[in-house]
């Protein structure tokens, strides 16, 4: 049995590399001359982030500068990443407060459950993301550091405004 070879004729404009190359160059030159700037010159320029952005935590304080946390234990209980360390204390008047309160921002998955569950609206995820460190230990924020944060806090999801508009 003989094997036949079928020669498929294709027009030169479909097979020419010159044509494809020129087409690619046309796109390159078009973008070179395009004055619309699409690159953000970070960190000199920063894009605005959503009001619901969940980033670096903040511990809010009372008027006399104490942490609003009452050491109830809800946030470490609900935290799916198990990254909140709380040791509660109690003063002579029976007021509870955190002896130790730490959040490992490296382990945190920024779900926002701690903010949602806090009865005192003390702990918040924040609209902040610039928290790089040189060591893992540097990501463990103690109470003092959490209280020293000043960035805006995140807004919780609102069923009446699902897209946050």
Residues binding ligand SF4 (CB under 6 A)? 69-75, 78-81, 83-84, 86, 103, 108-114, 117-118, 120, 122-123, 125
Q: Which is closer to ligand SF4, CB of 122 or CB of 147? A: 122
Rounded to a whole number of angstroms, the minimum distance from the CB of residue 82 to ligand SF4 is 8
Residue closer to ligand SF4, measured from CB, 45 or 91:
91
Q: How far is the CB of 47 from ligand SF4 (least distance, A)?
A: 22
CB nearer ligand SF4, residue 118 or residue 147: 118
The CA distance from 126 to 110, in Å, is 9
Minimum distance from CB of 87 to ligand SF4 (Å)?
10
User: Cα-atom radius of gyration of the chain, to the nearest Å?
Assistant: 28
Q: How far is the CB of 40 from ligand SF4 (least distance, A)?
A: 26
Q: Is the CB of 26 or the CB of 51 nearer to ligand SF4?
A: 51
Would you say 97 and 90 are in contact if contact means Cβ atoms under 8 Å apart?
yes
């Amino acid at each position: 049995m003989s094997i036949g070879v079928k020669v498929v004729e294709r027009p030169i404009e479909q097979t020419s590399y010159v044509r494809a190359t020129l087409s690619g160059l046309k796109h390159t030159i078009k973008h070179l001359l395009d004055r619309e700037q699409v690159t953000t010159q970070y960190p000199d320029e920063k894009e605005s982030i959503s009001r619901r952005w969940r980033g670096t935590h903040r511990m809010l304080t009372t008027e006399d500068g104490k942490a609003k946390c009452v050491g109830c234990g809800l946030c470490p209980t609900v935290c799916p990443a198990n990254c909140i360390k709380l040791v509660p204390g109690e003063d002579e008047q029976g007021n509870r407060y955190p002896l130790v309160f730490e959040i490992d921002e490296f382990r945190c998955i920024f779900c926002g459950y701690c903010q949602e569950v806090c009865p005192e609206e003390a702990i918040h995820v924040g609209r902040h993301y610039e928290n790089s460190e040189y060591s893992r230990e540097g990501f463990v924020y103690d109470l003092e550091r959490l209280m020293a944060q000043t960035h805006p806090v995140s807004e919780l999801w609102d069923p009446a405004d699902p897209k946050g508009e």
